Amino acid sequence: MRAFHGNWFWVSVVSNGLVGLWGLGLAMAKRPMGPLFVKARAFAIVAMLVQVGAGLWLYGEGSRPPAFHMFYGVVILFTFSFVYIYRSSMARRPALAYGLLLLFVMGLGIRAWTVVAG
């Protein structure tokens, strides 16, 4: 599971970054989100949730990373929770909102990795 968590980091961070940039591009071009973007957005969010879930699994098995590594995982969960609660207020400019969200979450993922990687 530790190897999966280490390798899946790249999938989750890169997907959040690419889809986040895509969302910003759609917002700047004032284009609507198409079904492909919606699917990519869902993949990026699920990829990051799988990453956090793998970290929780490792914690349950007794692995104890530095405290700030776990802190960033908790912040990612809270961020997604708040976005879910306030998703109706994001409806005015969803591409911009989700683009910024995914880039923010990507940054949190990178920050969590730097704590462990030293």
Q: For the segment 49-102, what is each residue's pLDDT rounded down to a tens digit?
A: 999 999 999 999 999 999 999 999 999 999 999 999 999 988 899 999 999 999
- Segment 67-81, tens digit of pLDDT: 999 999 999 999 999
In the numeric block, the tokens 């969302």 are attached to: 23
Reference 97, options 17, 12, 43, 23; nearest CA is 23
Half-sphere exposure of 4 (CA within 13 A, CB side): 12
Question: What's the domain count of the chain?
Answer: 1
Domain containing 23 equals 2-117
Reference 69, options 114, 17, 104; nearest CA is 114
The pTM of the full predicted model, rounded to 2 decimals, is 0.93
| Whole-number pLDDT of residue 82 | 95
Cα angle 69, 102, 58; round to 5? 30
